[in-house]
Amino acid sequence: MEICSVGGYNEVGKNMTAIKFNSDAVILDMGFFLPSLIDFEESGGDRSNMSKEGLINLGAIPNDSVIRSWKDKVRAIGLGHCHLDHIGAVPYLANDYNCPVYGAPYTMDVLGSMLRDDKLKLRNDIKIANPNSIHKINGNLKIEMINITHSTLQTCMMAVHTKQGTVLYANDFKFDNHPVVGRKPNYKRLKELGNENIIALVVDSIYAGLDRKTPSEKVAREMLKDVLLGTGNENNAIFVTTFASHLARIKSIIDFGEKLGRRIVLLGRSMKKYVNAAQNSNLISFSDRAEIYGYKRQAKRKLKEIEKNRKDYLVVCTGGQGEPGAILTSIADNSLPFKFMPEDHVIFSNKVIPTEINKENRDALEASLKNKRVRLFKDIHVSGHCGREDLRDLIKITKPQHIIPAHGEVRMTSALKDLALHMGFDTNKVHVMKDGLKIKI
Ligand SMILES: [Zn+2]
Ligand SMILES: [Zn+2]
């Protein structure tokens, strides 16, 4: 068996891994490296004019030329969840492979709306693969989706079953035993696989260096409750910003907003996209609990009304990274018709994705809000990624022969190697890769 670390092994982003067993190969995830893309677009670049090669040269999508010789052997592309660092490159790369794309309903709905927004087309067959289902690809290969918890809906670990044994792909996850939306991790199936034969575990190492078990989403819910129900906000505007794909978080915000007796308004294009996808997939619907406006024109009209009756509303919006053009950023720079008053509330239920441009944007946003004497509540958030102690539990449950740390810079993948060595793995069984390498197992 050969495994190729196509992307996501030098950086957090552009995840893509390929596995070849005899004359059959499978690709898992095809993601964006968002910092390159954001830099490019903020300096005036237009992605819609870019070729695949252009995006590869920009560093925005994985360089799949390293598996050129496997091209005719690829039988399936599997997508683990809907985040852009896992599916963003599908529209640019998947067409080159004559095979179907497998993903959970929510993942595929988000992919579909991405394709429509960017006016792109896929030639590949789309195969809807529900969490906890197994799909026969041919006589030699099966792909299995295993329900796991993360920071968006229907996240799955993917198991590729071959005659030689199984490769378990575990990007991204945390072990959340109290998820706010969706089911608990499928520990039962992971244990079963651990008692069979997992040849290799390809696994999320972004926080392998942090000595912790990542707290449950229930903890973030309590933090939100504390801020929303426990501060003097009767007469003030309340704006909460979070990741648009984080439906569990949005649900908690709506729950407590209703407790405050406020009308809930969701604003922003991506907010509408991910909330609609959840409704399309029959997972969770907010349409009878919140007004949802994706277009700037509609947002403008609504904000004028909220401005006059600020204590009657709670707004959930985009802009938590301070990204130009998002709702909160546009209000702060006075390009939308809403004026913050002193002591209005802005709650950041997210974390800044730590790139230079994000930090600058977010600092500028906070400075502008403080200038308007707004009250800021930051870091009302818990991560969706496993810490070192979640990883230890996963390794114990699944008992892999080999470990391939993924989803991170080398300092992160090396931290996972360090954990594996502490757990008694031989150094030649833990493979710290770089983008574009292959190993034989
Ligand atoms: Zn993710
Ligand atoms: Zn990711």
Domain borders along the chain are 2-213+384-440, 217-377
Q: How far is the CA of 1 from the centre of ligand 1 (A)?
A: 27
The answer to whether the CB of 61 falls within 8 A of the CB of 89 is: yes
Cα distance between residue 15 and residue 424, in whole Å: 28
Q: How far is the CA of 370 from the centre of ligand 2 (A)?
A: 32
How many CB atoms neighbour CB 44 within 10 A? 6
Q: Is the pLDDT of residue 118 over 80?
A: yes
Q: What is the pLDDT of residue 206?
A: 96
CATH superfamily to which 2-213+384-440 belongs? Ribonuclease Z/Hydroxyacylglutathione hydrolase-like (3.60.15.10)
The answer to whether the CB of 385 falls within 8 A of the CB of 204 is: yes
Counting ligands in written order, which one lies closest to the CA of residue 245? 1
Q: How far is the CA of 13 from the centre of ligand 1 (A)?
A: 10
Per-residue pLDDT band for 38 (boundaries 50, 70, 90) equals confident
Q: What is the dihedral of CA 342, 347, 353, 355, to 10 degrees?
A: 10
Q: How far is the CA of 171 from the centre of ligand 2 (A)?
A: 6
Q: What is the pLDDT of residue 259?
A: 98
Distance of CA 24 to the CA centre of its chain: 28
Per-residue pLDDT band for 261 (boundaries 50, 70, 90) equals very high
Element (H, E) at 194: helix 187-195
Average pLDDT estimate for 67-93: 97
Q: Is the pLDDT of residue 91 over 80?
A: yes
Q: Give the model confidence (pLDDT) of 191-230 as tens digits.
A: 999 999 999 999 999 999 999 999 999 999 999 999 999 9
Q: What is the pLDDT of residue 46?
A: 84
Per-residue pLDDT band for 98 (boundaries 50, 70, 90) equals very high
Q: Is the pLDDT of residue 48 over 90?
A: no
Q: How far is the CA of 61 from the centre of ligand 1 (A)?
A: 16
Q: How far is the CA of 85 from the centre of ligand 1 (A)?
A: 7
Q: 216-239 as b/e, with b when 16 or more CB fall inside 10 Å? A: bbbebbebbeebbeeeebeebbbb
Average pLDDT estimate for 103-132: 96
The answer to whether the CB of 436 falls within 8 A of the CB of 412 is: no
Q: What is the pLDDT of residue 49?
A: 80
Q: Is the pLDDT of residue 115 over 80?
A: yes
Q: Give the model confidence (pLDDT) of 295-345 as tens digits.
A: 999 999 999 999 999 999 999 999 999 998 899 999 999 999 999 999 999
Q: What is the pLDDT of residue 355?
A: 80
Just give the CATH number of 217-377. Answer: 3.40.50.10710
Q: What is the pLDDT of residue 363?
A: 96
Q: How far is the CA of 306 from the centre of ligand 1 (A)?
A: 33
Which residue's structure tokens are 């651990």? Answer: 194
2-213+384-440 against 217-377: fold identical: no
The answer to whether the CB of 195 falls within 8 A of the CB of 164 is: no
Q: How many residues does the chain have?
A: 441
Q: Give the model confidence (pLDDT) of 124-142 as tens digits.
A: 999 999 999 999 999 999 9
Q: Is the pLDDT of residue 96 over 90?
A: yes
Nearest Cα residue to 129 out of 202, 275, 28: 28
Q: Give the model confidence (pLDDT) of 276-287 as tens digits.
A: 999 999 999 999
Q: What is the pLDDT of residue 50?
A: 86
Q: Give the model confidence (pLDDT) of 402-427 as tens digits.
A: 999 999 999 999 999 999 999 999 99
Q: Give the model confidence (pLDDT) of 346-392 as tens digits.
A: 999 999 887 888 899 999 999 999 999 999 999 999 999 999 999 99
Q: How far is the CA of 78 from the centre of ligand 1 (A)?
A: 15
Counting ligands in written order, which one lies closest to the CA of residue 155? 1
User: Coil, helix or strand for 101?
Assistant: strand
Q: What is the pLDDT of residue 53?
A: 94
172 cis-preceded (ω within 30 degrees of 0): yes
Per-residue pLDDT band for 157 (boundaries 50, 70, 90) equals very high
Counting ligands in written order, which one lies closest to the CA of residue 150? 1
Which residue's structure tokens are 């069984």? Answer: 429
Q: How far is the CA of 32 from the centre of ligand 2 (A)?
A: 10
